[in-house]
């Protein structure tokens, strides 16, 4: 009897294994897909409409170009535009122009036109958060002008502008001049009751009669609408505070004030600590920074403890000044870009219930103490400058 039971168990297992080996019904072949590399969203000409720009990679032409060594002046991407009341409606219209299905899993960037960002982006973000093919790590940017114009600038080192802009954001993330914001981070800040979202701004410049896309400033959002910008100094001040600085150079003046010293950042750690004393809330920002002497423009010998102490104090003052400039701009915009409200809620949830309704007023007057501890570690391969006194 046991022998027959074992046989039937094996038969049932084989049947279930055979059922799991069936082909995927929803699979799509590569030659049936239009791989999206970039998305641009602009405000439509008519009321309550939008203009969607989709950038797709020309895979077959790209392969042929590499084999022949000459692209014949043709691009390796295709941009298509469509108007509609929603992204889903625009995508349906694209199906009338394409014999392939749009595939968003390789999308590098979502660029929001300035007009669309000022009007509000909530209705656009819902699609990208809900659609299962969209990656949460896709980069979000705001364009100075039309987003479709940015996606039309032909890059020098990449096949498609979408991929080139994605690599540009990654590179800027390492230099810590402009924030690198993905869809997940942007949506998280938008859903917060107090924290304001930030997004890098991309612009177009003309250099030697050639258009080049570059990152310039940072857009500040209140809920889903863009309300202002941060310059580079204010942006890095914010990044110091929220522990997003990975690299970069701090410039300080020498003791005579006539020359400058550049210190390359090698390590940064920062914390935002909320405190409530006598029923009053305050914020303490602690920043620890280490760096190496990268270059100096004077002939002064700085490779001694006394000079190091002076430079460290100057560096601490410079970093603190950048943080305070970001705080000043945030109060001008009445936008909690630092996330103070969420941090207070995490540490003092009961007290936050009392503060929440008046947070905009509290944010304008809350005391913020910035404490910077900078250390200069190394001088590089040489100690004294080559023309030392």
**Residue 383 near residue 376 (C-beta atoms within 8 A):** no
How far apart CA 158 and CA 108 sit, in angstroms, is 13
Which residues form the domain of 119? 30-60+70-230
Instruction: For residue 6, tell me if it sits in a domain.
Output: no
Retrieve residue 268's tokens: 């940064």
**Residue 186 near residue 124 (C-beta atoms within 8 A):** no
Residues 137 and 196 in one domain: yes
Q: How many residues does the chain have?
A: 389
Report DSSP state, residue 262: E
pTM (2 decimals)? 0.86
Residues 146 and 270 in one domain: no
Q: How many domains does the chain have?
A: 2
Would you give the distance in Å from CA 130 to the centre of its chain?
20
**How confident is the prediction along the chain (389 residues), in pLDDT tens digits per residue?**
666 677 877 788 887 777 666 656 566 677 788 899 999 999 998 888 999 999 998 876 544 444 444 444 457 899 999 999 999 999 998 888 888 889 999 999 999 999 999 999 998 999 999 998 899 999 999 999 899 999 999 888 888 899 999 999 988 877 788 999 999 999 999 999 999 999 999 999 888 888 899 998 999 999 999 999 999 999 999 999 999 998 889 998 876 667 889 999 999 999 999 999 888 999 999 999 999 988 887 777 777 888 889 899 999 999 999 999 999 999 999 999 999 999 999 999 999 999 999 999 999 999 999 999 999 988 888 877 776 66
Residues 163 and 238 in one domain: no
Residues 213 and 269 in one domain: no
Q: What is the CATH number of the domain that holds 292?
A: 3.30.300.210
Residues 193 and 289 in one domain: no
Final residue before a domain boundary, out of 188, 213, 230: 230
DSSP string covering 29-90, please?
A: -GGGEEEEEEEEEEE-SSTT-EEEEEEEE-HHHHHHHHHHT--TT--SEEEEEEEESSHHHH
How far apart CA 134 and CA 88 sit, in angstroms, is 13
Final residue before a domain boundary, out of 230, 255, 278: 230
CA distances (Å), origin 47, targets 85, 112, 190, 235, 259: 9, 18, 24, 34, 56
Instruction: For residue 7, tell me if it sits in a domain.
Output: no
């Amino acid at each position: 009897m046991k022998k027959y039971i074992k046989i039937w168990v094996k038969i049932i297992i084989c049947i279930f294994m055979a059922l799991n080996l069936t082909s995927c019904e929803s699979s799509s072949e590569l030659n049936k897909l239009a791989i999206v590399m970039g998305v641009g969203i602009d405000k439509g000409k008519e009321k309550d409409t939008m203009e969607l720009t989709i950038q797709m990679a020309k895979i077959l032409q790209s392969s042929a170009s590499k084999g022949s060594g000459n692209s014949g002046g043709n691009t390796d991407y295709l941009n298509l535009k469509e108007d509609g009341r929603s992204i889903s409606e625009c995508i349906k219209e694209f199906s009338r122009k394409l014999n392939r299905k749009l595939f968003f899993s390789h999308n590098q960037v979502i660029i929001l036109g300035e007009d669309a960002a000022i009007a509000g982006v909530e209705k656009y973000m819902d699609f990208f958060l809900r659609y299962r093919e969209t990656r949460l790590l896709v980069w979000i940017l705001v364009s100075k002008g039309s987003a479709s114009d940015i996606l039309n600038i032909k890059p020098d080192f990449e096949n498609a502008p979408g991929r080139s802009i994605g690599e540009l954001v990654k590179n800027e993330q390492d230099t810590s001049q402009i924030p690198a914001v993905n869809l997940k981070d942007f949506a998280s800040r938008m859903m917060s009751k107090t924290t304001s979202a930030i997004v890098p701004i991309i612009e177009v410049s003309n250099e030697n009669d050639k258009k080049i896309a570059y990152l310039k400033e940072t857009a500040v959002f209140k809920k889903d609408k863009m309300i202002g910008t941060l310059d580079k100094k204010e942006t890095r001040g914010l990044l110091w505070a929220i522990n997003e600085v990975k690299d970069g150079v701090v410039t300080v003046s020498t003791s005579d004030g006539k020359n400058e010293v550049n210190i390359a950042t090698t390590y940064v750690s920062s914390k935002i600590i909320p405190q409530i004393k006598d029923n009053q809330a305050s914020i303490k920002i602690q920043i620890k920074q280490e760096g190496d002497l990268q270059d100096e423009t004077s002939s002064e010998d700085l490779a001694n403890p006394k000079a190091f102490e002076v430079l460290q104090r100057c560096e601490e003052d410079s970093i603190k000044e950048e943080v305070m400039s970001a705080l000043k701009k945030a109060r001008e915009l009445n936008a909690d870009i630092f996330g103070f409200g969420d941090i207070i809620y995490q540490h003092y949830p009961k007290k936050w219930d009392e503060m929440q309704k008046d947070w905009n007023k509290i944010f304008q007057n809350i005391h913020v103490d910035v404490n910077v501890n900078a250390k200069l570690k190394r001088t590089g391969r040489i100690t004294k400058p080559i023309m030392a006194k």
